[in-house]
Each structure stands twice: as structure tokens, then as C-alpha cells.
Structure 1
């Protein structure tokens, strides 16, 4: 069944999070699309994949969509925890 995009909305400040060998990486979301398929509607994030734009959740290792600020805070917290563990081991 084909997905039909009903509407596209801006997505400034949002990222798609991917798991790369146990580490999380983020890719900027280009837009959110209101998609209809099989009599169901849902909002899906879209990211640039080379020269094309595709659904983030269709790409390998997709984990979630998150606000960029929250992703950066999580990353900073993880780095601080790693530093504390290294100090405790020393």
C-alpha cells in the first residue's frame, strides 16, 4: 500500500536519532509529514538522505525523533557520567 503525504510542516529544532554501534547520532529533520496509508493517518519525520528526502523511520538503525536541545542535553549528561567514572577509576 502506498503512503500519501497529506501535508508537510516545518521541523526546525528536531532531530532523528540513530543507533550507530551503540552510540547515538542525530540527523536534522527536514520536515514532518502528515501521511495517510491504509485508512490511517500519522505524522512522520523526514530527513535528507543524500539528494533525496525520505522517512526517518524507514532508515536503518532509527531510534526516535527528539528535540535538538533535549538530545544535546542527554549527550552532555552522558559525557559527564563518563568523566566521573574515569575519575572514580583513577
Structure 2
């Protein structure tokens, strides 16, 4: 039996980003929304909240990317970036 995922609900993601590893450096992409999903795998149902972002003309699950690290509030990500700049100076 195959695994299928359905989106049950879309939730706003204002102020949240997906953080990716880009050749050892962290980069962030703005999230479009969070999706409450339900996956049916061999008769077992599981629900998860998953981040979604824009990829060209499509909206995709951010956590499907091989270089996905985490979801973080934009303000927190920017604060970390500023702290790294201070250390380098």
C-alpha cells in the first residue's frame, strides 16, 4: 500500500522562516503557511504540522528539501545573524 498525505488545514506563518544549509552557511526562506497534514501509511494515520514555502510558481513542503534544518521566527534568525557579524568584526 502506498503512503498518501492530505492537507487538512492551512495556518498563517507570518514572521516565520525555513532555515536551510547552503554550503555550510545558513539561509532563510519566508514561509507561506503551515499545513496540518494527515498521512495514511499502511492503515496508520499520522497528523503533523509542516512548513510550506514558495518554490517558483509552486508552494512546497519546506521540510522535504535535503538541506532543510529547522523552522524559526524571522526575528530570532536575524538576531543570530547580527551576533555572528559582531563576532567577526
Aligned residues: 83
In structure 2, stretches of 5+ residues that fail to align are none
CA RMSD of aligned residues (A): 0.6
1:87 corresponding residue in structure 2: none
Task: Provide TM-score, normalisation by structure 1.
Answer: 0.90
2:33 corresponding residue in structure 1: 31
Structure number with greater Rg is 1
Task: Provide TM-score, normalisation by structure 2.
Answer: 0.91
1:17 pairs, out of 16, 19, 29, with 19
In structure 1, stretches of 5+ residues that fail to align are 84-90
SS of the residue aligned with 1:60?
coil
CA deviation profile, 1:9-63 (whole Å, cap 9, x unmatched): 1101000000001100000000000000030101000000111000000013100
* Larger proportion of strand: 2
What is the alpha-carbon distance in structure 2 between the residues aligned to residue 21 and residue 79 of structure 1? Answer: 18
2:66 corresponding residue in structure 1: 60
SS of the residue aligned with 1:3?
strand
What is the alpha-carbon distance in structure 1 between the residues aligned to residue 30 and residue 16 of structure 2? Answer: 6
CA deviation profile, 1:52-77 (whole Å, cap 9, x unmatched): 00000001310000000000000000
Runs of 4+ in 1 over 3 A off after TM superposition: none
Matches within 5 A, 1:50-89: 50-83=56-89
